[in-house]
Amino acid sequence: MNATLAAMSGGERAGTVDTTCFHCGEPLPAAPAMRMFDGASRRFCCDGCAAAAQWIGDADLDAYYRLRERPGARIDEDDGALALWDREEVQAEHARTLDDGGREITLLTDGMRCAACAWLIDRALSREEGVTDISANAVTGRIRISWDPARTPLSRPLRRLQSLGYRPFLAAGVQQERERRRERNRWLLRIGIAALGSMQAMMFAEALYLDTARQMSLPMRDFLRWIAFLVSTPVVFYAGWPFIAGAARELRHRAPGMDTLIAGSTLLAWAGSVAETVRGGPQVWYDAAVMFVFLLLVARLLEQRVRATASAQVDALARARPAFASRETADGQREAVAVGALSAGDIVRVAPGEPVPADALLLDADASFAEALLTGEATPVPKHPGDQVFAGSLCGAQAARLQLTAVGTQTRLSQLAALIEQAQAHRPPLALAADRIARGFVLALALATIAVYVAWRLHDPSRAFEVALALLVVCCPCALSLAVPAALAAANGALARIGVLPLRADALARLARIDTVVFDKTGTLSLPGGVLRVESLDGLGDAEALRIAAALERDSAHPLAAAFHAAPAADTTIATGVVEHRGAGIEGVVDGRRWRIGLAGFAAATRHDDGAIWLGDGDIASARFTFDESARTDARPTLDALRRLGIASELASGDGDVAVTRFAGLVGIDAAHARMSPEGKLAHVRDLQAQGRVVAMVGDGINDGPVLAGADVSFALGDGNALAARAADLVLASPTLLRIAQAVVLARRTRAVIRQNLAWALLYNLLALPAAALGMVSPWQAALGMALSSLLVTANALRLARVPRA
């Protein structure tokens, strides 16, 4: 009595045109929509996708399908909510009125996955009537639309946007958006002026230096000096303002650091040069001052760019906030209002599948909410009237009525977003250590400079200032303070390109040390779903058993549940009172009878726990489900690559012995542990750590919270949900496991580069200091030496930007 059915889900196998939607890549339903596209008949999962493809084809934008790197997003039905975007109170808060009477708004969208999407949005919306300007940025997920309110309401271009599969979300306040752009532009302008100005100043300085035989007439010499003064002054004071401001801050806090030294030596070089220019002294040092400012600005910009890319990820959290809510008025009517207009104490209604607008208390009846964004746990949590419900969680099967308790920045979601932002702004310990060394160095250097100046004053007063300046410049620990951030910036950029997002500042440093990787089998090394076998026991019938199981598993986010989702008739039977017991199974009522599905001990106590999934009433088994799990195609290459790196791989799974052993053999893994609870996995990781191993954990971020937190470094698979799983150090946004090995290679190379850089910077400073103190280095040689040293360090770091092959 065996029935087999292939229950595939997920995109891993879904590559061919025949089984998946042409537009969004999701599995096709029994009766797919068919359309002619580009001379061939294509299948679509729904009318929305078909209409989008049709429109794209008709608009001659079909190049999108060739350019894109990933399938598009599934297209939702238009729910009419877009009309709310036209409301005055929404636009007052988020849009900006332009000089010509038009308006501009910045939106976030969730489906923009590669540059091809940005291209498509750009082309599609610019053809809409009344849209005057549009720019879409795939890196930050932002779209900026300018439109003419007299010619079109905002909802019209947005409807087009939604019909292509990109749902609009409100970005953070317009004020913040503009501030972000203005800040970036100011930095670009500073760098530009520093680059152009220092190029010119160095040209004039060169002319002065080349006059070695002192043949230049004095008026010519002074003319060149005044020109150099003219060019270098804006560089020192406008482009170099961040350093001067930083130095002022450091001095106010009585903690002189790098900025003090940088600003101090540039200002000293500049002021000394001005004095020499005025009194016609023998030497000026404008070139040293401008070179300093320019090179250091470049280094800072590099670091900032990485931060900006990282903060774009935080916007995923902003997207969880709905734009509108349905509020209950005093007379029991409902009205749609912008979320910004809500206040604590309001009563709102949330429909199934919709996000909760603000932190609230549940009223009236039981309901369930998925709090994936807050906890990383995708399983809906059942709540009773009076329980707390959090903004950003998704309402489960029943609609809910809520009384708001906290809105806006007071919600847990906003606080979480702030936390992640904070983590990304946080400097890793290694960088902090380098800063500390540099700070000590600054003080020592200041004292040494004074001592050298006094000594030269006694020995040869005419050279005293020059030697002191040379010492200050040549020994500036710039290379030292660049050594770490430049390497981390380059490495983080390379990581982001391969789809690995570091959430902790020191994740990379810890990743370099690992020697053991523990995989959680279900959903990490194996394909979700797999082939499901049904074996009914007490005359229930295969189809009936599957129907009940599918109903129970319908709302579960466990990777194995996906296999049941694909079962026929999964949508027609509804289970009530469903409760999920973590690590055991699911309980619920189907057709008036109470069922349990899960491990033998939970669902059918009379049966031996053999790794299968049992359906029963708690004691007597009614059916048994087994999975023939297939490994991801890249599982074996990944394990081989890790082995080549000298890293041992282990498998820790919650499944039964037989299945785990079979699977371990399939992928060729060294050590496999079966039947492990989340607590067991954590204990195992702790054991390994006690043996002196440095352990990396790879999980799906759903059931593995504690283990991910307990391991030395952790990877979470997936994108949106795992991003907020605070436990994970790195998120694997790309579906390829090979990225893990690549990330390890990159981390190790980063460690090596940081060590080389630190060694070089220290060696350079140790050699340069005595040479300068003895008066063997002139200020221009000092500036050049310092610049070359910094450039060497940066160039060495940039080697990391190349993506390694694992």
Partner 1 sequence: MNALLILIPLSLVLLLAAIWAFAWAVKRGQFDDLDTPAIDILQGEPEPAPRRPSAVEDGDAG
Instruction: Please give the residue ranges that form the binding site for partner 1 (CB under 8 A).
Output: 55, 58-60, 63, 67, 115-116, 118-119, 122, 124, 127, 129, 135-139, 181, 185, 188-189, 192-193, 196-197, 200, 203-204, 217, 220, 223-224, 227, 230-231
CA angle 470, 476, 479 (to 5 degrees): 130
Q: What is the DSSP string of 418-430?
A: HHHHHHHHSPPHH
d(CA 562, CA 90): 39
Q: How far apart are CA 624 and CA 549, in angstroms?
A: 10
- Minimum CB separation from partner 1 for residue 642, in Å? 32
Cβ proximity to partner 1: between 185 and 677 the closer is 185
**C-alpha span between 653 and 667 (Å, rounded):** 14
Measuring CA to CA, which residue among 595, 601, 597, 564 is closest to residue 577? Answer: 595
Residue placing its CB nearer to partner 1 in the complex, 65 or 369? 65
Q: In angstroms, give the least distance from the CB of 315 to partner 1.
A: 15
CB of 189 to partner 1, least distance (A): 5
Task: State yes or no: is 520 an active-site residue.
Answer: yes
Nearer to partner 1, 301 or 397 (CB): 301
39: Cβ contacts below 8 Å, ≥ 6 apart: none
Q: Give the pair of three-digit tokens for residue 261.
A: 């030294």
SS (H, E, C) 97-144: ECCCCCEEEEEEECCCCCHHHHHHHHHHHHCCCCEEEEEEECCCCEEE
Strands 40-44 vs 33-37: parallel, antiparallel or unpaired: antiparallel
Q: Kindly tell me which of 239 and 557 has the beta carbon lying closer to partner 1.
A: 239
CA distance 221 to 217: 6
Of residues 92 and 223, the one with the C-beta less far from partner 1: 223
Question: Which residues lie closer than 8 Å to 230 by C-beta, 6 or more apart?
Answer: none
Closest to partner 1 by CB, 190 or 412: 190
CB 84 within 8 A of CB 336: yes
How many CA atoms does the CB half-sphere of 386 hold within 13 Å? 0
- What is the closest distance, in whole angstroms, from the C-beta atom of residue 324 to partner 1 in the complex? 27
Q: Least CB distance from residue 110 to partner 1, whole Å?
A: 18
Run of H or E residues at 564: helix 561-565
CB of 105 to partner 1, least distance (A): 16
To partner 1, the closest distance from the beta carbon of 198 in angstroms equals: 11
Whether 640 and 610 have beta carbons less than 8 Å apart is answered as no
Contact (CB, 8 A) for 795 and 486: no
- The torsion angles phi and psi of 114, rounded to 5 degrees, stand at -155, 175
What pairing do the DSSP bridges indicate for beta strands 648-652 and 516-519?
parallel
| Least gap, CB of 275 to partner 1 (angstroms) | 23
* Residue 379 near residue 362 (C-beta atoms within 8 A): no
Radius of gyration of the chain (CA): 32
Closer residue to partner 1 (CB): 144 or 726: 144
Measured from the CB of residue 489, what is the shortest distance to partner 1 in angstroms?
16
Tokens describing residue 482: 């660049």
CB-count exposure of residue 432 (10 Å: 0-12, 13-18, 19+): middle
Spatial strand order in the sheet of 381-383: 381-383, 367-370, 394-395
The span from the CA of 171 to the CA of 315, in Å, is 8
Cβ proximity of 777 and 470 under 8 Å: yes
- In the set 359, 435, 520, 729, the catalytic residue is 520
Place of tokens 């774009």: 312
Residue 100, phi then psi, degrees to nearest 5: -85, 15
Give the CA count within 13 Å in the CB-facing half-sphere of 475: 27
In the complex, least distance from residue 176 CB atom to partner 1, rounded to whole angstroms: 16
The CB-of-193 to partner 1 minimum distance in angstroms stands at 6
The sign of the torsion formed by the CA atoms of 370, 731, 553, 353 equals positive
Q: Which is nearer to partner 1, 169 or 226 (CB)?
A: 226
The residue (of 297 and 389) whose beta carbon lies closer to partner 1 is 297
Active-site residue numbers?
Answer: 520
